[in-house]
């Protein structure tokens, strides 16, 4: 008999999530049936999307949504061997039973030297989000200038490095001097701390006086409203996230976008990485190759202990992480 720990949404978030919105519960798992597997989570992911998606898709009492790298403890399913590692989308659980559907085995080319947690970050959903957002939504071309915000985060840090690989100039912005130093270290051409610049407008002008062809937006809100005025004609805006808005109790307002959209013939597109599920393998292979070649560097902010998931999630929403926020069980 295995006892799983699970984190439950006790109360829908009102404004910024609080520790008391979560409840840690224990669930006794039944014995395996034929075709089933028992898994234990090794690394769990906390991501910005969980904030708006919990609001939209969950009810109070549900296990928090989320993804993990898990080890197969026991298998009654011939397609999966005990000891193997998979990426699962099973929520905030220490252990769980699966029928194998929706599990992704770690690529066979995964080297021993590489942390398996990267399958939740640079070589996982956030990396793929950067990959498809930049190449397919922005349709970035060599020689262009790319702007990315929340640039030291799980997605933004990959965006900037992929844009460099693609022959672009990259401007990133983040919320601390340490993060800015990190961005410069991993190859961003220009980087600044949006919290300490006297004017975001001036900082954007200075970083690229000619403006921006592509804007990979993870933040939304006021940042986007200012950045739109710095787009070049026929610029493309990939709307990936809106972390500045996720915790609003009352939706914020900003200037309407229509006039700059028309004058500069801009394209703005919201996207979700699952739209490219059929090309997941292609993206993951490319990202893994670049990581192994050292062309894409990674950084993880690892919180130890399953019981610290809410704290890791809240910290990530506050922007306390550099790179990918991971919880190690």
Cβ-based nearer residue to a second copy, 56 or 59: 56
- Let me know: does 85 contact 103? Beta carbons within 8 Å: no
161-to-51, 118, 173, 185, 287 alpha-carbon distances in Å: 26, 16, 14, 11, 11
Binders of a second copy among residues 76 to 95 (CB under 8 A) are none
Is residue 264 part of the contact set for a second copy (CB under 8 A)? Answer: yes
**Which backbone phi and psi does 188 adopt, to 5 degrees?**
-60, 140
Nearest approach in angstroms of CB 251 to a second copy is: 5
Is residue 224 part of the contact set for a second copy (CB under 8 A)? Answer: yes
38-to-70, 104, 119, 120, 309 alpha-carbon distances in Å: 10, 15, 20, 20, 21
Binders of a second copy among residues 33 to 52 (CB under 8 A) are 52
- Judged by CB under 8 A, how many residues of this single chain contact a second copy? 35
Is residue 126 part of the contact set for a second copy (CB under 8 A)? Answer: no
Cβ-based nearer residue to a second copy, 52 or 100: 52
Cβ-based nearer residue to a second copy, 203 or 231: 231
- Let me know: does 8 contact 35? Beta carbons within 8 Å: no
Cβ-based nearer residue to a second copy, 146 or 242: 242
Is residue 278 part of the contact set for a second copy (CB under 8 A)? Answer: no
Is residue 139 part of the contact set for a second copy (CB under 8 A)? Answer: no
Only segment of 19-27, 176-184, 201-209, 266-274 that touches a second copy (CB under 8 A): 266-274
Token pair belonging to 239: 């709307």
Which helix (DSSP H) or strand (DSSP E) does residue 53 occupy? helix 50-57
Is residue 59 part of the contact set for a second copy (CB under 8 A)? Answer: no
64-to-47, 52, 128, 295, 303 alpha-carbon distances in Å: 12, 12, 22, 34, 17
**Which backbone phi and psi does 160 adopt, to 5 degrees?**
-60, -40
Is residue 267 part of the contact set for a second copy (CB under 8 A)? Answer: yes
Is residue 54 part of the contact set for a second copy (CB under 8 A)? Answer: no
Instruction: Give the C-alpha separation, 217 to 219, whole Å.
Output: 6
167-to-160, 239, 270 alpha-carbon distances in Å: 11, 22, 24
Is residue 261 part of the contact set for a second copy (CB under 8 A)? Answer: yes
Is residue 213 part of the contact set for a second copy (CB under 8 A)? Answer: no
Q: Taking CB under 8 A as the rule, which mask of x and - marks residues 13-32 in contact with a second copy?
A: --------------------
Is residue 240 part of the contact set for a second copy (CB under 8 A)? Answer: yes
Nearest approach in angstroms of CB 233 to a second copy is: 10
| β-pair type (169-174, 145-149) | parallel
Residues in touch with a second copy (CB under 8 A): 52, 56, 217, 220-221, 224-225, 239-242, 245, 251-272, 275
């Amino acid at each position: 008999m295995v006892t799983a720990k699970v984190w439950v949404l006790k109360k829908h978030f009102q404004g910024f999530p609080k520790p008391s919105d979560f409840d840690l519960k224990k669930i006794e798992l039944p014995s395996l049936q034929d075709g089933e597997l028992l898994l234990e989570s090794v690394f769990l992911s906390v991501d910005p999307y969980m904030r708006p998606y919990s609001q939209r898709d969950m009810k109070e009492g549900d296990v928090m949504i989320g993804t993990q790298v898990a080890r197969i403890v026991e298998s009654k399913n011939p397609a999966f061997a005990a000891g193997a590692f998979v990426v699962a989308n099973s929520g905030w659980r220490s252990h769980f039973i699966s029928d194998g559907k929706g599990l992704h085995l770690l690529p066979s080319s995964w080297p021993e030297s590489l942390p398996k947690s990267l399958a939740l970050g640079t070589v996982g959903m956030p990396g793929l989000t950067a990959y498809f957002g930049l190449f397919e939504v922005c349709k970035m071309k060599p020689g262009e200038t790319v702007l990315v915000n929340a640039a030291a985060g799980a997605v933004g840090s990959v965006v900037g490095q992929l844009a460099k690989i693609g022959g672009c100039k990259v401007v990133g912005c983040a919320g601390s001097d340490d993060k800015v130093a990190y961005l410069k270290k991993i190859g961003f051409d220009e980087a600044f701390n949006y919290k300490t610049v006297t004017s975001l407008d001036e900082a954007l002008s200075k970083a690229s006086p000619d403006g921006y062809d592509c804007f990979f937006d993870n933040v939304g809100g006021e940042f986007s409203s200012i950045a739109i005025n710095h787009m070049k004609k026929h610029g493309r805006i990939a709307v990936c996230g809106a972390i500045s808005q996720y915790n609003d109790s009352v939706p914020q307002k900003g200037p309407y976008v229509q006039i700059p959209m028309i004058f500069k013939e801009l394209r703005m597109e919201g996207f979700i990485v699952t739209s490219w599920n059929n090309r997941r393998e292609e993206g993951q292979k490319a990202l893994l190759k670049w990581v192994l070649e050292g062309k894409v560097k990674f950084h993880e902010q690892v919180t130890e202990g399953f019981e610290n998931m809410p704290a890791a999630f809240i910290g990530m929403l506050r922007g306390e992480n550099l790179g990918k926020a991971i919880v190690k069980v």
